[in-house]
Structure 1
Amino acid sequence: MIVFLFGFILLFITVLQAFTPKLLKQTEAFGVYVPEQYAKEQTIIAYKKRYTAVVLTLGIILLAVYIIWALTQSPTEETLSLFSIGVQFCILFIGLGYYFMMHVRVKRLKEEQGWTTGKKEVRVVDLQFQAKLQLIPRIVFIIPMIITVGLIIYTFMKYAQMPDMIPTHWGPSGQPDAFSEKTYFSVVSMPLILLVMQGMFLMMSEGMKFAGAKINPANKKTSVSQQLAFRKYSSWFALFMAITMTLMMGYFHLQTIHPEIGSAWVMFALPLVFLVLTFLAVGIYIVKVGQSGSRLKIEEDSPSLEDKIAVDDDKYWKGGIIYINKDDPSILVEKRFGIGWTLNFGRPLSWIVLFGPLILILVIAFSL
């Protein structure tokens, strides 16, 4: 069962990586801006097909080797988990390595064919864009955080009744395999981590309010509609993750206070259900929405293929993945390769947003 669970995760990662180029808007290819006039360049289409074929093939080969090894060698759960993580990183590195190869090729093609030469760069601004946003209200994200604070208070109330050793980790079988001595800090470590993660989802939703919209000057109406829908669905996805994570981690914590409500079967099944629901949500999100709402069916206006193009900001994208622009007030920016958002590392606040929660989680985890 565990072998096929890890196998499913590996397959999901492989398929997601392989088909990523097909989920992005046509004006971006392997982290490079492509003007509307060249969006259907045959060389770019060939590069995307080749990337999908190579990553998918190598990923499936690795997956097959992993399953054969796991079924024939009968490794322990710990060895299986470590090997599975190693294979996952291998698949990620394969996709990332081939991505950089394609990034260099598309960038060279852009320079050789002079896609931006002689074109007037235009930055389109919709002054009503913020008013049109349909994000989840802030209070909806705060409610799970209030519940978590209540759980922390309840834990302190029940402190005397809790066991002397608190489980802090559960193995694939659902049985606890790591414990920490009971202290006022250790008993609330899990709710504290949950609170930090809830805060991250809140910041993600709030950050989209102030993220600049990259509107395509050749297709303004469609671009605005897709951008608005992309933010709306991203906000709903963040809320879904916050709620499901609160339910799962809240139950884990409650069973340390009330062991009678816990069972090995539930502890095994709950993370599995959470994982399946997360994969389903991610799958629906990327297939229905795509990056920047590119897969949403919008009544398109007629593209204008004049000598006007969007502002070419390739210089701010390092490798097409890391965005550094100190003149851009946005903290969150849309990814160029992949689905979702990344940070503008040209703004000091972005470093706090990235490392602040990470440091808090590590401090809590290593203090146990």
Structure 2
Amino acid sequence: MSEFDASVVAAVTGHMNGDHPEDNLLIARAFGAPDARESTMVGLDGAAGVWRVVDPAGERELRVEWPGGPVSERADIRREIVALYRASCERLGVTPREEHQAAPSGDAAHGASHPHGGGGHPHGGGHPQAADDGSFSGELRRATWGDHGASEHATFMEDVMHGRGTRDDYAAMVAQHYFMYLALEEAAAGFAEDPAYAVFHPAALIRLPALEADLEHLMGADWRERIAPVPAVAAYADRIRAVAAEGWKAGVLAHHYTRYLGDLSGGQMIARVMVQQHEFDAAGVAFYDFTELGDLREFKERYRDALDAVGAGLDSAERQRVVDEVREAYRFNTETFIDLDKARAAAAA
């Protein structure tokens, strides 16, 4: 069985959970959890994908083998998720989205289209934009399938998602979020005076007060003296501030999109795992509580519509520049977990 680099696993699961949670649910319902209410992709290897599902019986992991058999290349993962999506549609009587109505094969299966473009609803509805329709949101979704390669293997996030991480591991991750969002929300404040960008950052989305409350709960009143950014996060925050200082709002949006849509999707499962593992109530996982936003699916659809509106005003060179910045954001996130893994290992030595 082939094992993929942790950066590959993080990129694939992060994208699926951040942009296409509805497709995760479709796959779960078709392949072993017909009454699933939630489904989050938490891992993969050469033989299968792994989802954590919630249904009336509780919470469990669901392993779904790749339809085409074992894989060993990153591009093959995309092909197999396409195949899983199409097989799920067939089993459930759902019409596949237009870009997946033909069987994937050859270069077409490895090309630019994301296997779950459009964030289709598990019952065949969902966001009207498809990944290959020329929309800006589609371009950004495809960017998350790019090469986020890191040569080192990191298990930090995998341990957190599988309930193997400690309370201290979770606190360390929350601390890094604090430094990320300190920079990001300073930068996003520059959206306020521009109607085209203000829509992305309503007051209900602000995370810093929740992070501060979580850190006090996890580490005590002196938490500010006990935390420091890992190198990747220090560089990440510097990058966000540099983009903001340049006045490049579309660049800030690239980082905003990468972080917040992940929090609104896969982050919800992290909160559930932490509540179950560490018996938190609201304190400790306030960061993931977006109740004030209302329906999260509707908010994410409005967000993507606003992305498309921004993209329509950018020329091709500027759109590509934003896509490249999204890739940078993903690289910083991957390297953050590698650094957290290193710090954990050093503390244990």
Calculate the TM-score normalised by the size of structure 2.
0.32
Larger relative contact order, structure 1 or 2 (CA cutoff 8 Å, min sep 6): 1
